[in-house]
Amino acid sequence: DAMVIQNPRYQVTQFGKPVTLSCSQTLNHNVMYWYQQKSSQAPKLLFHYYDKDFNNEADTPDNFQSRRPNTSFCFLDIRSPGLGDAAMYLCATSSGQTNTEAFFGQGTRLTVV
């Protein structure tokens, strides 16, 4: 059973039109991460939440925002997508209590037209 679920798997949006990607988890983990992965590159951390505490990476553009309304859900909002924002967006969770594994979703592939 999927433990980190990302919807949709594929998203097409228009240049400049706000888009929201969603992530849900059934693991009750404290920490949720959002990554951007472009073709042939490693995942790049955008930000993460520890419970309700938001931690933004210094080089994450302001165009990217996130919301975590409860433990199970986390959203990635791209306010004005540009062509350069086309990528795979990965959500991940970790317990925050132990140094074990992090669990990743299948990702949402975003296309900007």
Contacting residue, 42, 59, 69, 83, with other proteins by CB under 8 A: 42
* Residue 109 found at the interface with other proteins (CB under 8 A): yes
Q: If DSSP states are collapsed to H, E and C, what string results for the chain?
A: CCCEEEECCEEEECCCCCEEEEEEECCCCCEEEEEEECCCCCCEEEEEEECCEEEECCCCCCCEEEECCCCCEEEEEECCCCHHHCEEEEEEEECCCCCCCCEECCCEEEEEC
| Using rule CB under 8 A, residue 5 touches other proteins | no
- Contact between 44 and other proteins by CB under 8 A: the answer reads yes
Residue 68 sits in the site that holds other proteins (CB under 8 A): no
Nearer to other proteins, 18 or 51 (CB): 51
Does residue 81 bind other proteins (CB under 8 A)?
Answer: no
